[in-house]
Chains A and B, each alone.
Chain A
Amino acid sequence: MDSKPIPLPAPGTRLDWRLDPPYSARHLAWLLLVLAIILVTGHRVEMDRMAMMSAQAVGNLIGISDDSQVVRGLSRVGQSMWPPVIGDQEEVARLPELDRNKLPLFSHIEVQQRTEQRLNPQTLQLEQETETIEVLVKPVGYLWTVAVKMVETLEIALWGTVISVLLSIPLAYYAARNYSPNRYTYTFTRGVISLLRSAPELIVALFLVLAYGFGPIAGVLALGLHAAGFLGKFYAEDIENADKKPQEALEAIGAGKLKTLWYGVMPQVAPQYIAYTLYILDRNVRMATVIGLVGAGGIGQELKGRFDMFQYGHVATILLAIFLAVFLLDQFSARLRARLM
């Protein structure tokens, strides 16, 4: 604030008021440049072809155009994925431990005919051979398998989130410019955070599978490390941007850094922290379904297996389960957020 008065012009002077129009030639040049970039890059990633093919598909659907590659492809996928597989059956002969008087829940034993082509070693002819086998039919067996895998996936996501939160707390403290003890700790921690964030989960999981073997450990660590980078950065930036007034009040009475952070900053940033953490949980659930592809546990392992065996009905069940899990989690976190804010 300045005590000098605002100078007033002497009476009688002519004032030259000028308010420039909002757009100038520079704006036009910028506009053209942006347009050029959009056109060139759009062509390079085949956005023009995409628009044409999509238009053709729409035409095909409303009956104007007779053929569309997109519609053909999609309907092939749709047909092979429908209906989603719910049940499961196993040959009784392969289940030596099965107790016929105590079958698993909802299941029953069925007698089926199976026809197979066999090569007759004597005649060297292919012969039809029909045999009667007993199978254990589990009407919701596959659904159960998927549910168990889904729970495992959710557990991986949950623990990935727990680990990321634990790791990001010290990271956030040292990466917040106004709390880090000195410039070196600040720069170092920022570097660690960038490193963690820049390593994609899938690649990290790939390496961790080599280190820890197949299974959830690699998955949990891969998710936790990546998310710790994300949370560390966002937690730290919220600390830096938090209202300075309460912090100054506590600093002024000599409360000390940690206590000032806890009483002057944390209550202010808590809602954002909860939002970030819930986002990470959501993201981890989605990522946990994917990292199974490299053998890091969870439903992704099942998904990859079925995909590789062209069992698209099973794939459909898995995808529906993932969608359901993400949707339910969304509902849950929206409710939690509303309560905590």
Chain B
Amino acid sequence: MIRFESISKTWPDGTRALSNISLDVPKGQFCVILGPSGAGKSTLLRAVNGLTQPTQGSVAIDGTVLTPATERALRKRVAMIHQHFNLTNRMSVAGNVLAGLLPVVSTVRALLGWFKPEHRAKACRLLGHVGLSPEHLQRRAGDLSGGQQQRVGVARAFMNDPEVVLADEPVASLDPKISRDILALIRDAAKERNATVLCSLHQVDLAREFADRLVGMRDGRVVFDGIPAEFTDARVEALYHGVRWEDAPKADKQPGMPALEVAIA
């Protein structure tokens, strides 16, 4: 379980990216975070593995609070899938996937590229699962199409059997068909291992289709928290097109403005 305890993040330039967010994401849940650009989705995700340090509050995974002392150990349990795939472009697909094991492989083995046979077998198996074929193994990652690169990214994320998968707009630059395929891959691989997924998305339809739970964010705050069925079109409208959250008149006083509940766990 991931527990955010009243975390806030204020950037040095004064931007308040997160305001006092508390959220529990139970084990095995596929939790999608929606919200307009700048809402703080990436900042929230990156607080889980310490890529961003919250200015207040804490994040804990299964009771272990993220601190500088526990960071390295926690990161080994948390995988990440990135919007821009973040592969080493000039390295082979095989090398990129095996790199997912770097936290547990000894430095000597890593520098020599001398991975154990069972690790190499695992890389091949995962690449097969994400729909790549053996001839892709030695291709340079940067030469693949975006969809194929994200498949490699997914395979890399699951190499080290993560308990938590953070996916920051994993399909933002992919076509709708491939986006659906990739999200299905992430969901199925996570369910198989009972891994928790925290995934930010910009596609509402995909979010509704894949999420166990939807969290809507605006201006660093959680303004919606519920199951996909509760996330009606009117709420989509409010989440993306409403005036600034602070300036919004109380929803119930203004007809036509759909109600948004502020969820504070």
Residues in B with CB closer than 8 Å to A4 are 244
Contact: A267 with B91, CB < 8 Å?
yes
Interface-side segment among B23-31, B78-86, B124-132: B78-86
In this assembly, does B180 line the interface, its C-beta being within 8 Å of a C-beta of chain A? no
Contacts of A256 in B (CB 8 A): 72, 102-103, 107
Indicate whether B173 reaches chain A with its CB closer than 8 angstroms: no
Most central of A243, A251, A253, A260 by chain B CB within 10 Å = A253
Q: Determine whether the beta carbon of A250 is less than 8 Å from that of B38.
A: no
The CA of A44 and the CA of B88, in the complex, are separated in Å by: 53
Cβ of A258 under 8 Å from chain B: yes
- Cβ-based interface call for B190 (8 A): no
Q: Which of A3, A248, A259, A268 contacts B102 (CB 8 A)?
A: A259
Contact with B88, one of A3, A258, A268 (Cβ below 8 angstroms): A268
**A245 interface hit (Cβ, 8 Å):** yes
Min CB distance B185 to A, Å, is 18
Which B residues between 210 and 225 are near A, CB-CB below 8 angstroms?
Answer: 219
Query: Chain B contacts of A264 at CB under 8 A?
Result: 88, 99
**Hey, what's the 0/1 contact readout for B198-210 against A, CB within 8 Å counting as 1?**
0000000000000
Which A residue sits closest to B42, measured CB to CB?
Answer: A1
B75 x A253 contact (CB < 8 A): yes
Q: Which residues of B contact A253 (CB under 8 A)?
A: 49, 75-76, 78-80, 100, 102-103, 160
Partner of A255, one of B86, B91, B102: B102
Partner of B72, one of A243, A254, A267: A254
Any B CB within 8 A of the CB of A32: no
Interface of A is mostly: helix
Interface size on A, residues (CB 8 A): 26
A249 at the interface (CB under 8 A from B): yes
Contact residues, B57-108 vs A (CB, 8 A) = 71-76, 78-80, 82, 84-91, 95, 99-100, 102-103, 105, 107
Are B82 and A250 in contact, CB atoms less than 8 angstroms apart? no
Q: Is the CB of B38 within 8 A of A252?
A: no
Q: Answer yes or no: A270 CB below 8 A from chain B CBs.
A: yes
**Which residues on A sit within 8 Å (CB–CB) of B75?**
252-254
B251 at the interface (CB under 8 A from A): no
Q: With the chains together, A157 CA to B36 CA distance in Å?
A: 60
| Contacts A3-B36, A253-B79, A262-B111 given; does A245 touch B100 at CB 8 Å | no
Query: A245 and B76: CB pair below 8 A?
Result: no
Cβ contacts under 8 Å, A262 to chain B: 110-111
Q: Are the C-beta atoms of B80 and A263 separated by less than 8 Å? A: no
User: Interface residues, chain B, CB within 8 Å of chain A?
Assistant: 36-39, 49, 51, 71-76, 78-80, 82, 84-91, 95, 99-100, 102-103, 105, 107, 110-111, 156, 160, 166, 219, 244
10 extra interchain contacts, Cβ-Cβ under 8 A, other than A1-B37, A256-B72, A267-B91?
Answer: A4-B244, A252-B49, A253-B160, A254-B71, A254-B76, A255-B103, A256-B107, A263-B95, A268-B89, A271-B90
